[in-house]
Amino acid sequence: MTSLVIVSHSKKLAEGLKEILEQVARDIRIIAIGGAMASSNSDILGSDPSKIKETFLSLANDDAIFVLCDFGSTVLSVKYAIRKLPEDIAKKIYLLDAPLVEGAYAVAVQISAGSTVEEIIKSAEESRSFRKLS
């Protein structure tokens, strides 16, 4: 199984994006993480490294784990969480540098299509130049 982990300051944003992706994605586990506190009911904006780490640990048997963040402290929290993981899990995590919504959409489509890790990373990078109005 391949997972896509969405990390946002806002739990609502992450869950909303997951809703959209689940319309286009197949054979992929999508996980939405958001908010500052460990409680699953937290509506407080922020990020929680321990929650992110626990999520990664729960995906230990996955083949690959792709991660997209909004910005700032969510990125730092993900990096911190990865450093605290056993090497065999950490090496399967691909933290992508791409726009959150557009990158996650591209990644979900590529994973569903059975693309390689390299193709998936490339699609996230290319989502920067995605034109919406033309």
CB nearer to its own copies: give 65 or 101: 101
Sign of CA dihedral 31, 32, 36, 40: negative
Say how far apart CA 29 and CA 34 lie, in whole Å.
17
By CB under 8 A, residue 39 contacts its own copies:
no
3-state secondary structure of 69: strand
40, 41, 61, 134: residue in contact with its own copies (rule CB under 8 A): 134
| CA separation, residue 112 to residues 1, 2, 30, 116 (Å) | 11, 9, 12, 11
CB nearer to its own copies: give 60 or 126: 126
Say how far apart CA 84 and CA 130 lie, in whole Å.
34
Say how far apart CA 38 and CA 114 lie, in whole Å.
33
| Binding segment (CB under 8 A) for its own copies, from list 15-23, 50-58, 81-89, 115-123 | 15-23
By CB under 8 A, residue 101 contacts its own copies:
yes
Based on the residue annotation, tell me whether 9 is a catalytic residue of this protein. Answer: yes
User: Which of 2, 5, 9, 31 is labelled catalytic?
Assistant: 9
Please list the active-site residues: 9
- Write out the residues near its own copies by the rule CB under 8 A: 8-17, 19-20, 23, 34, 45, 69-71, 75, 95, 97, 99-102, 105, 127-134
